[in-house]
Structure 1
Amino acid sequence: MTEELFREDAYLKSCEATVTAVGETGIVLDRTVFYPTGGGQPGDSGSLTRSDGVQVTVTDTRKVEDGIAHVPTEGAAALSVGDRVTATLDWDRRYRHMRVHTALHVMCSQIQGGVTGGQIGDGKGRLDFNLEPENVPEKEALTEHLNALIAVDHPLGISWITDEELTANPDLVRTMSVKPPMGAGRVRMIRIGDGVDYQPCGGTHVKSTGEIGRIAITKIESKGKQNRRINLALVD
């Protein structure tokens, strides 16, 4: 299986690795800084550079049975099992994903309703909430409130709890339709500040809310009787 370096340090931009498999799903490495599509966050893009200088552009990253597959652009040079490569992220894109993902956590902490869906994009994202009509926030007021909270520059921390601890504390899970991965014995938790947010998440985030910058709530949409989609975008 691929060693997931991004789990402990989302700021790693590159790493040395060895190709362990090549197939239709992509190029699997023994270790990587590339985040695979999951939890609403897109897979990373970037490049793999072999020791002889041959470079392969990676357009997507996905979880596969034997690890993490780096999807090469069509017509890219072929790599072979055993090749040593330098895996390098498209860092600017990844960092925007990190800022948006953290901003969505902050927003989630301020909305009283279960999360029914979500998606992270390049500079924007959204969460869907199960909300009664009277609990739907006003767009401008929510924007102002979130920016004030973000500007405090709350630190973000990563910790782990056991599967049993999460099972005993079901309120830690905000998502109604998707449960955090369990079965490995422990679950990765994200904490923002002192009581801002604390919930399981496997994605990549910034180190503190100040790195998010200013955001705007661009649209609040009705997606059913009680389902409301709240769209967010980075402003700077």
Structure 2
Amino acid sequence: MMTEELFREDAALLTCEATVTGQGEGGVTLDRTVCYPLGGGQAGDTGWLVAGEQRWRVTDTRKSKETPGAIVHLVEGDPPAVGLVVRVEVDAARRQAHRRFHTATHLLCALLPYPVDGCSITDTYARLDFHTDEPFDKHAIEVGLARLVAEAHPVRHRWISEEELDANPGLVRSMSVQPPRGLGRVRVLEVEGVDLQPCGGTHVSNTAEIGALVVTKIEKKSAKTRRVVLGFAQSSGA
């Protein structure tokens, strides 16, 4: 059974009721969820499943390897029984960090117009690898990010057909992660007036919500790869 992905339409939704549809792969599958599974460079959500006085810690969320379209919630201890109705609760602080960092990477793409050759979004840092041999200016990037955050650009998603994507191949910036095919439509993320590209991740609704950012590291990973690592200004990043 496929899992209804509530997080695709509302990244601010942190809880829902769901029914356990299966056990295996280290956890349980649900008929619906607010938990984002590892993918597209973004880490999976953690949180809890709750039924009455029982609580199961969700240590990670992954796409099922056995059932296409299902999402596995990895849990500590004996998993809840199939058929049990549970309340799904996302770790709110972790989700918000993912939302802020993921939208920040879209701002970085707007400032550095090069193909992306790698991505990692966690709750402590965000990293993008760009396919270029051009040097990067740390101060200039930080100033550009601060400007885009302060300008408070609305952030929204919409769906386009696969045919529309094929007609606009320039929308795809990533060399390593391609939009999923076969569903007939593709989710795109728009930072108004700044960036537009396919993305299935969770995001803030306005760039002002990102807050102050710092570039914690710029590395030359190869002759044609430059890595930029972002952190929040109040933390040291990674």
TM range (shorter): over 0.9
Confirm or deny: 8 A CA contact 1:157 1:207 kept in the other structure. Answer: yes
Q: Which runs of 4+ in 1 moved over 6 A?
A: none
- State the 1:174 CA deviation: 0.2
Residue identity matched to 2:184: G
Partner residue of 2:88? Answer: 87
CA RMSD of aligned residues (A): 1.0
SS of 1:98 mapped into structure 2: helix
Confirm or deny: 8 A CA contact 1:112 1:131 kept in the other structure. Answer: no
Confirm or deny: 8 A CA contact 2:25 2:72 kept in the other structure. Answer: no
Q: Percent of pairs identical after alignment?
A: 50
Confirm or deny: 8 A CA contact 2:27 2:79 kept in the other structure. Answer: no
Confirm or deny: 8 A CA contact 2:28 2:79 kept in the other structure. Answer: no
Question: Which shows bigger deviation, 180-189 or 19-28?
Answer: 19-28
- State the 1:177 CA deviation: 2.3
Partner residue of 1:30? Answer: 31
- State the 1:220 CA deviation: 0.7
- 2:158 is the counterpart of 1:155: no
1:167-206 to 2 correspondence within 5 Å? 167-194=166-193, 196-206=194-204
Unaligned runs of 5+ in 1: none
Measured in 1, the distance between the counterparts of 2:122 and 2:25 equals 26
Post-superposition CA distance 1:60-81 (Å, at most 9, x none): 00001430000012xx243111
The two structures have a TM-score, normalised by structure 2, of: 0.94
- State the 1:112 CA deviation: 2.1
Count of residue pairs the alignment pairs up? 230
- State the 1:144 CA deviation: 1.1
Post-superposition CA distance 1:125-156 (Å, at most 9, x none): 110001133xx221012101111111111000
Measured in 2, the distance between the counterparts of 1:187 and 1:108 equals 19
Measured in 2, the distance between the counterparts of 1:57 and 1:177 equals 32
- State the 1:168 CA deviation: 1.5
- State the 1:178 CA deviation: 1.9
Measured in 1, the distance between the counterparts of 2:156 and 2:30 equals 27
SS of 1:223 mapped into structure 2: strand
Measured in 1, the distance between the counterparts of 2:73 and 2:25 equals 11
- 2:66 is the counterpart of 1:63: no
Post-superposition CA distance 1:185-229 (Å, at most 9, x none): 0000100012x0000000000000000000001111001001000
Unaligned runs of 5+ in 2: none
1:34-53 to 2 correspondence within 5 Å? 34-50=35-51, 52-53=52-53
Partner residue of 1:104? Answer: 105
Measured in 2, the distance between the counterparts of 1:78 and 1:231 equals 37
- State the 1:110 CA deviation: 1.1
SS of 2:231 mapped into structure 1: strand
Question: Which shows bigger deviation, 27-36 or 139-148?
Answer: 139-148
- 2:146 is the counterpart of 1:143: no
- State the 1:23 CA deviation: 1.3
